[in-house]
A = this chain, B = another copy of it.
Amino acid sequence: MASMDHSQTFVTPRDVRLAARSGALVGSTAGMANGFVQVNLVIMPEEQANGFLRFCQANPKPCPVLAVSEPGARHCDLLGEDLDIARDVPSYRIYRDGEFDSTLTDVSAVWRDDLVTFALGCSFSFEHALLQNGVPVRHIEEGRNVPMYKTSIPLRRAGGFSGNMVVSMRPFRAAAAIRAVQITTRFPQTHGAPVHLGDPSLIGIKNLGSPDYGDAVSVAPDEIPVFWACGVTPQQVLMDSGIGFAITHTPGHMLVTDIPESQVALL
């Protein structure tokens, strides 16, 4: 992947942000600035944002809020210095009238003074912790994006938003699955412990080989699929709600913050 070529170059979070800002980086941020929290971005007009914040508070596993900007602000001190929300993500998605509209590498031209930005925790943080603890992560081994699935798990309705959870899946042998529960429990702000393991049909997933987002990965007969709440959930919810205008990051193309991963670990 193109991102892998850059991972040695962009060592600090600011390196990554400046590369995205200049247009030099338009690919995935996976593996970059290791040890620092990367976040999902969800950006929408203040009129919907107040309700969306209540929705996130009601559904903290898929939508763990690390920071909320002031309306119109393109900076966010909680996330980092020298940070431009409208330019520092390598790839953005624009939604109009509840549908995906276009992909942009810079959203300065569509920025509005009423836009509120939500920074939501991302599983990249706990994947780094899994690897550091010797727990292999299949989609990383196979050089793919993590497989993500729509489920039948209902979210709590709040602030005018509702829908079902989107989950990411990582397969493990049993001992590693148990270890993965322990490790990810330490990261409640980046989706925390799994929401399901075992039979996918119990949460409405018909075929592990056909993810709704990301790529399929191989699952061995002695492995158990383990499912985590996923930061793509709000993108699905925004579309389902028919929101008039919203911006998100492109999955895998995250905002890299100055927050050390150790700071979002419980233990």
Contacts and interface: CB of A to CB of B under 8 A. Distances in A.
Contacts of A109: none
Nearest to A203: B174
A198 B198 contact: yes
A155 interface: no
A197 B224 CA distance: 9
A264 interface: no
Contact of A178 (B175, B197, B199, B267): B197
A78 interface: no
B199 A175 contact: no
Contacts of A178: 181, 193-197
Contacts of A177: 197-198
Please state the number of chain copies in the assembly: 2
A47 interface: no
A141 interface: no
Interface string A180-193: 01100100000001
Interface string A204-223: 00000000000000000010
A108 B237 CA distance: 70
B174 A202 contact: yes
Contacts of A175: 195-196
Interface in A141-171: none
Contacts of A267: 267
A7 B193 CA distance: 36
Contact of A202 (B198, B199, B222): B222
A255 to B, nearest CB: 29
Contacts of A196: 174-175, 178
Contacts of A197: 174, 177-178, 197, 224
Interface of A: 174-175, 177-178, 181-182, 185, 193-199, 202, 222, 224, 267
13 contacts: A174-B197, A174-B199, A175-B196, A177-B197, A178-B181, A178-B194, A178-B196, A178-B197, A181-B181, A182-B182, A182-B193, A198-B198, A199-B222
